Amino acid sequence: MSRSGALDRIDALLGTVTDPAFSAVIRGEPMSISQTPVLAFWINGRSVDFLTLADESSRVDLTIRAYFRMQVSQDVRESVELDLWDAAVNIDTALRGDSDLAGNVTDIEIGDMSTAYTDMSGVAYRTLDVPLTLILMGDVAIAP
């Protein structure tokens, strides 16, 4: 198991989503976006799931967010709703196809997805948030 391997695998799996065609996958929460749609993912936190005498198992929570730039055109705004739905299904499909992230985690959990609007540098974006939890059994060895 490898932390960097898990992040690399998430990056690679998100890169396979072609509907909608994302212009980039960004590791880390973006401060600005040059073109959309774009996917970004970042770590929210880590918690200890349980302890044994020999090791600690953990859960790492991430957010995957799809950004779609809002436009004045009603047709574009309507197409964004379909893109959000397609993104939700296709991100889920890509991640579930490799639920141990090439052996870098024990398993993953995909939470309930949600949508919102966000403003970044005066630009409005429609967003899709995908909560992802990485489950790592025996993540940290406990030395006697």
Token pair recorded at residue 52: 């044994």
- DSSP secondary-structure letter at 8? H
Model pTM score: 0.90
pLDDT at 139: 78
- The residue ranges of every structural domain in the chain are 3-141
Taking the chain, what is the end-to-end CA distance rounded to the nearest angstrom? 22
pLDDT at 72: 67
Helix or strand holding residue 62 (H, E): strand 55-69
Buried b (16+ CB within 10 A) or exposed e, 39-53: bbbebeeeeeeeeee
- Cα 136 to Cα 132: distance, rounded to the nearest angstrom: 13
Q: Per residue of the chain (144 residues), what is the pLDDT tens digit?
A: 788 999 999 999 999 999 999 999 999 999 999 899 999 999 999 988 877 777 788 899 999 999 999 876 666 667 899 999 999 999 999 999 999 999 999 999 999 999 999 999 899 999 999 999 999 887 777 877
CATH domain 3-141 topology: Alpha-Beta Plaits (3.30.70)
pLDDT at 77: 66
- Cα 66 to Cα 129: distance, rounded to the nearest angstrom: 7
